[in-house]
Amino acid sequence: MASPDPALLSLNTATVRERWNLAQMIEGCARHGIRGISPWRDKLDELGADEAARRIRAAGLTVTGLCRGGMFPAPDATGRKAAIEDNLRAIEDAATIGARCLVLVVGGLPKGSRDLAGAREQVEEGIAAILPRARAAGVPLAIEPLHPMYAADRACVNTLSHALDLCDALDPKRSGILGVAVDVYHVWWDPELQAQIRRAGRKRILAYHICDWLVPTTDLLLDRGMMGDGVIDLKRIRSWVEGAGYRGFHEVEIFSARNWWRRDPDEVLAVIKERHAACC
Amino acid sequence: MASPDPALLSLNTATVRERWNLAQMIEGCARHGIRGISPWRDKLDELGADEAARRIRAAGLTVTGLCRGGMFPAPDATGRKAAIEDNLRAIEDAATIGARCLVLVVGGLPKGSRDLAGAREQVEEGIAAILPRARAAGVPLAIEPLHPMYAADRACVNTLSHALDLCDALDPKRSGILGVAVDVYHVWWDPELQAQIRRAGRKRILAYHICDWLVPTTDLLLDRGMMGDGVIDLKRIRSWVEGAGYRGFHEVEIFSARNWWRRDPDEVLAVIKERHAACC
Which residues sit opposite B256 in a β-bridge? B223
Cβ-nearest to A153 among B151, B156, B215: B215
CA distance A265 to chain B (A): 28
CB spacing of B114 vs A233 below 8 angstroms: yes
| Nearest of A36, A29, A111, A100 to residue A76 by alpha carbon | A111
d(CA A208, CA A185) in angstroms, rounded, equals 11
Which residues sit opposite B69 in a β-bridge? B104
pLDDT tens digits, residue range B42-97?
Answer: 999 999 999 999 999 999 999 999 999 999 999 999 999 999 999 999 999 999 99
Q: Do the Cβ atoms of B56 and B11 come closer than 8 Å? A: no
CA distance A39 to chain B (A): 26
What mean pLDDT value characterizes chain B? 98
d(CA A239, CA A247) in angstroms, rounded, equals 11
Residue A204: predicted pLDDT? 98
| Nearest of B213, B214, B280, B277 to residue B241 by alpha carbon | B280
Task: Identify the residue among A113, A156, A158, A231 best suited for mutation to test binding to B, counting B beta carbons within 10 A and taking the highest.
Answer: A231
CA distance A148 to chain B (A): 6
Cβ-nearest to B147 among A114, A148, A216: A148
Residue B55: predicted pLDDT? 98
Burial group, residue A74, by CB count within 10 angstroms (0-12, 13-18, 19+): buried
d(CA A217, CA A214) in angstroms, rounded, equals 5
With a cut of 70, list the residues of chain A below it in pLDDT. none
What's the rounded mean pLDDT across residues B154-159? 98
Residue A1: predicted pLDDT? 84
For residue B1, pLDDT over 90 is answered with no
Residue B33: predicted pLDDT? 98
**pTM, 2 dp:** 0.98
Chain A residue with Cα closest to B117:
A191
Cβ contacts (< 8 Å) between B233 and chain A: which residues? 114-116
- Across the beta sheet with B102-105, the strand order is B62-63, B36-38, B9-12, B250-252, B205-210, B178-183, B141-143, B102-105, B66-70
CB spacing of A147 vs B148 below 8 angstroms: yes
CB spacing of A149 vs B217 below 8 angstroms: yes
Neighbouring C-beta atoms of residue B110, cutoff 10 Å: 18
A-B CB pairs within 8 A amount to 77
Chain B residue with Cα closest to A157:
B191
CB spacing of A189 vs B116 below 8 angstroms: yes
d(CA A178, CA A183) in angstroms, rounded, equals 16
What's the rounded mean pLDDT across residues B218-241? 98
C-alpha dist (Å) from residue A71 to A67, A251, A279: 12, 22, 33
